[in-house]
A and B are shown apart, each in its own frame.
Chain A
Amino acid sequence: MKNRLEELRKSRGIKQEELAAALEVSRQTIGSLENGRYNPSILLAFKIARYFDVSIEEVFIYEEEKV
């Protein structure tokens, strides 16, 4: 799943380490999320959305798989 996490983080001038500390996850998790290698749990997705004060849809972009 694609996301705008890196864009949102950089637009607010936050480091990966700071975001990781605020969300209580490891820095590697933030890196993996930004690279699209890892899809977060619904809880973490909500935490991220709340942290940036946006809706989940504004952070994560759902695309239906092409058959």
Chain B
Amino acid sequence: MKTRNAVLLTGVGMMLLAAGIILLKSDPQFVKSLPALPYLCIGLGAGVFGHGLGELISRQTVKNNPEIQKQMQIDQQDERNQMIANKAKGKAYDAVLYVFGALMVTYALMNADLFVILSFVIAYLCVVCISIYYRLKFDKEM
């Protein structure tokens, strides 16, 4: 991530956080129909702000230390580290399919709203479709 993007993220996070607090305090009319909006702004703002600020601090720390910077770059590009990360992602994907499946069955047994069950089914199918798409893409490329 570039420094400019980190600054931008920090700024956007701060603005979202401030907007959330203002919405919560002022309680305008349009918020009545969206009661979760201020909390969503605060949550999202805090997350984005923390991520951006963390990136800026990390950049500042390694800025005057080229050795650490080089080591970090090596660790990021290390083929074993990349293989481990990809393998972990693969395992997580397998787990997602089981977790989604179990959730769908649970909601169906609980007689949950059809909209909830259908949104889970659509999300499940999306994940499977993305997997098939990349399988075909990589099959052509490699």
List of B residues within 8 angstroms of A21 by Cβ: 74
Interface positions of A from 23 to 67, Cβ below 8 Å from B: 24-26, 28-29, 32, 38, 40-41, 43-44
State the majority secondary structure of interface residues on B: helix
A35 CB, min distance to chain B CBs, angstroms: 12
A24 to B, closest residue via Cβ: B74
Which A residues are in CB contact (< 8 Å) with B74? 20-21, 24-26
Q: Is the CB of B80 within 8 A of A28?
A: yes
In angstroms, how far is the closest chain B Cβ from the Cβ of A23?
9
Check A44–B77 contact: CB distance below 8 A. Answer: no
Which A-chain residue is minimally distant from B77 (CB atoms)?
A24
Q: How many residues of B contact A (CB 8 A)?
A: 7
Complex interface: chain A residues within 8 A of B94 (CB): none
B61 within 8 A of A: no
| Interface residue ranges of B66-104 to A (CB < 8 Å) | 74-75, 77-81
Is A40's CB under 8 angstroms from B77's CB? no
What's the Cα separation between A6 and B88 when bound, in Å? 28
> B81 contacts which chain A residues (CB < 8 A)?
26, 29
Whether B77 lies near A29 (C-beta < 8 A) is no
A25 to B79, alpha carbons, bound, how many Å? 7
* Residues in chain B near residue A25, CB distance under 8 A: 74, 78-80
The CA of A29 and the CA of B91, in the complex, are separated in Å by 21
- By a CB distance below 8 angstroms, the chain A residues around B79 are 25, 29, 40-41, 43-44
Q: Which residues of A contact B (CB under 8 A)?
A: 20-21, 24-26, 28-29, 32, 38, 40-41, 43-44
In the assembled complex, 21 residue pairs joining A and B whose CB atoms fall closer than 8 Å, in A order, are A20-B74, A21-B74, A25-B74, A25-B78, A25-B79, A25-B80, A26-B74, A26-B78, A26-B80, A26-B81, A28-B80, A29-B78, A29-B79, A29-B80, A29-B81, A32-B80, A38-B80, A40-B79, A41-B79, A43-B79, A44-B79
